[in-house]
Amino acid sequence: MTSSRVRKEVDEALYAFVDRQRPVLLAITEDLSPMLGALDALLSGGKRLRPAFCYWGWRAAGGADGPEILAAAASLELLQASALIHDDVMDGSDTRRGLPSVHRRFEAMHRTEGWPGGAEAFGTGAAILLGDLVLSWCGEMFDTSGLSQDVLAAGRPIYDVMRSEVMCGQYLDMLEQARGTGNVESALRVVKYKSAKYTIERPLHLGAAMAGASQTDLDALSAYGLPLGAAFQLRDDVLGVFGDPAETGKPAGDDLREGKRTVLIALAHQHGSEAQREILNRRLGDPELDLEGVEELRAILTETGALEGCESLIEDFASQAYKALGEAPITDEARAALTDLTVAATARRV
Amino acid sequence: MTSSRVRKEVDEALYAFVDRQRPVLLAITEDLSPMLGALDALLSGGKRLRPAFCYWGWRAAGGADGPEILAAAASLELLQASALIHDDVMDGSDTRRGLPSVHRRFEAMHRTEGWPGGAEAFGTGAAILLGDLVLSWCGEMFDTSGLSQDVLAAGRPIYDVMRSEVMCGQYLDMLEQARGTGNVESALRVVKYKSAKYTIERPLHLGAAMAGASQTDLDALSAYGLPLGAAFQLRDDVLGVFGDPAETGKPAGDDLREGKRTVLIALAHQHGSEAQREILNRRLGDPELDLEGVEELRAILTETGALEGCESLIEDFASQAYKALGEAPITDEARAALTDLTVAATARRV
């Protein structure tokens, strides 16, 4: 199956699941309609990377094609939607995938209706609850994908550890930002748990384990997935600072305003002069940072060699991933599809 | 099995599950220790009502005793812990079960460490993530309870609908507070979804369905569980305003400061004079409300007959529940245990 075909079938499974939930919610009351509307808007975007890796993990281990595995894989997109909704609350982000973030959407609804009391608290509360609802739904969608009970049982331990890892990884990310240590090693640990395992390794494992892969097969997928995941996150970090807002769906410099302690920032800390570090410390995380400030920080990231260092790490990780992919004991069809995904996940789009 | 025995075994299953997760998290890094500490503190309190109803739903339908059903039932306490953690963030509550709420705990940690940046945002973020983690764990604990795949499969649709209902119910609760309609009917709808179904009816259904109950059996449990759940929530609302802080674990009048639009408040709106309604509108939800203000509102709730009306609703619901329990086609042992739980859930402790 081609990448675009996988994407299309994942989308269909995802929308079909939400369409099954819709009448259940609306039977309680039409007042729940804005919750569904917010989810529909969020799911209209996204690259469906995690479902794709899960599907190809299954195929790589010899699993047969079919709508059931695509529905099980698509459930990962609900986990991701939940994480994004809660992430945006935590980061105070205004936009997501080029649209207002969920909490801003409900905040606006509160204002439009002219209700008394705090619009912001209403937006936050609604977003927390929608994220919880969608987090519950990811397990439900997986369980009702149509795969047999035995196959699902083989996948569940991985699904479970993946959820724990991503939530712990996000906590560690927040801890890094709070401590502001700016240490490359800790930043790479966050990348591992928050991104490399969650986005690539565990989705691959989930699919492969359900198709009956051995521990050796899973290890081979880790040797590919972990460096690819790291490369993917570092690419995302670079785009978060230097990327085109039209492509990232976020205003230029939003990651700088949020004060994200990425590997890119850690490298600038490590190699910067005292003056450069002072500017970094002072301006990073300033919610009022204007375009001039963004340019100033971009210049530091370039002049310290942090951008170059990050690109070189991305290259190293990507070539580790390609090498491991070449050696992995998987089907040729899966190898070709994973090669395409590797290119897409690490491509320079600055 | 006696109530206290069920409670003890539910506790043991719950702590054993968390103890299995502990090394997994700490193997990532010791930095995750505060997340576990916050959960341990939260789980040290609580009445374990939902696990008890689930267990007795199982026994009522003829399920055999055993550690597996107790572990599956205990998983509901993790769902509840997650809901409480997120609830406290949404309500800005300082305490829970007599201890600092999770977000306040992490906020204090941020301050103690003297980290730069916002302590409040750190507390909120950590609490959102811990709530997410524990929400994932509730499904994991259920799946790994040791019950057979067939039994679990019979329970999952109910577990799923219960999670959707409680999250939707909480959104409707927030919506009621935002709109401030003060309508008894809408307040009762919130009670139904947020409490009656979530606390009593669905836990009973979950246990009973896994033990092979028919739809008729489930309907009989609804006839008992829904009015009991309504009585339980109305009792909780009364205690939230008139209760002893030593018993509720919350400062006196906290529900009034949060501006909760309970049935009790709706009744006062319905029966109050214009002057009384004006005071209610002005002071309800005032975070600075002092003890004198709390007394003023309590007086209105008493003088309008709202307290009496609420007590009379509790009595009506409770007698509906007792009647349905008497007629339900369940084992005598279960009927006796459920009678005890009914007394405990609706007892006047003001």
Residue numbers in A near B33 (CB within 8 A): none
Q: Can you give the pLDDT at residue A246? A: 80
Residue numbers in A near B90 (CB within 8 A): 121, 124-125, 128-129
Q: Is the pLDDT of residue B319 over 60?
A: yes
Give percent of chain B with pLDDT exceeding 70.
99
- Which of B139, B170, B178 lies at the smallest CB-CB distance from A139? B139
Q: Is the pLDDT of residue B250 over 80?
A: no
From-to residues of CATH 1.10.600.10 in chain A: 1-147, 148-350
From-to residues of CATH 1.10.600.10 in chain B: 1-147, 151-350
Reported as a single tens digit per residue, the pLDDT across B28-44 is: 999 999 999 999 999 99
**Cβ pair B160:A179 closer than 8 A:** no
Average pLDDT over residues A240-268: 86
Cβ burial B90-109 (10 Å sphere, 16+ → b, else e): bbbbebbbeebbbbbbbbeb
A139 touches chain B (CB under 8 A): yes
Angle at B66 between CA B60 and CA B72, to 5 degrees: 80
Tell me how far apart the alpha carbons of residues B135 and A128 are, in angstroms, rounded to a whole number.
12
Of A103-117, B217-231, B333-347, the poorest mean pLDDT is in B333-347
Instruction: Tell me which residues of chain B, numbers 290 to 349, contact chain A at a CB-CB cutoff of 8 Å.
Output: none
Average pLDDT over residues A231-258: 86
Pick the CATH number of A148-350 from 1.10.600.10, 3.40.50.1820, 2.40.10.340, 1.10.357.10: 1.10.600.10
Question: Which one is predicted more confidently, B349 or B245?
Answer: B245
Test mutation, B102, B175, B183, chain A, max A CBs within 10 A: B175
Tell me how far apart the alpha carbons of residues B335 and B329 are, in angstroms, rounded to a whole number.
9
Average pLDDT over residues B255-266: 90
Pick the CATH number of A1-147 from 2.40.110.10, 1.10.600.10, 2.130.10.10, 1.10.10.10: 1.10.600.10
Residue numbers in A near B116 (CB within 8 A): 178, 180
| A-B C-beta contacts closer than 8 Å | 161
Angle at A71 between CA A69 and CA A74, to 5 degrees: 110
Average pLDDT over residues A126-150: 98
Q: Is the pLDDT of residue A315 over 60?
A: yes
Reported as a single tens digit per residue, the pLDDT across A161-198 is: 999 999 999 999 999 888 877 789 889 989 999 899 99
Residue B206: closest CA among B224, B228, B222: B222
User: Confidence class of residue B349 from pLDDT cuts 50, 70 and 90?
Assistant: low
Reported as a single tens digit per residue, the pLDDT across B61-94 is: 999 999 999 999 999 999 999 999 999 999 998 9
- Which of B32, B124, B156 lies at the smallest CB-CB distance from A168? B32
Percent helix, strand and coil across chain A, each to the nearest 5:
80, 0, 20
Question: How close B46 comes to chain A (CA, Å)?
Answer: 21
Superfamily of domain B151-350: Farnesyl Diphosphate Synthase (1.10.600.10)
Instruction: Tell me which residues of chain B, numbers 83 to 122, contact chain A at a CB-CB cutoff of 8 Å.
Output: 86, 89-90, 92, 110, 113, 115-117, 121-122
Q: Is the pLDDT of residue B350 over 60?
A: no
User: Confidence class of residue A350 from pLDDT cuts 50, 70 and 90?
Assistant: very low
Would you state the torsion angle of the CA atoms of residues A298, A299, A303, A309, taken in this order, to the nearest 10 degrees? 10
Of A34-48, A246-260, A319-333, B148-162, the poorest mean pLDDT is in A246-260
Residue numbers in B near A165 (CB within 8 A): 28
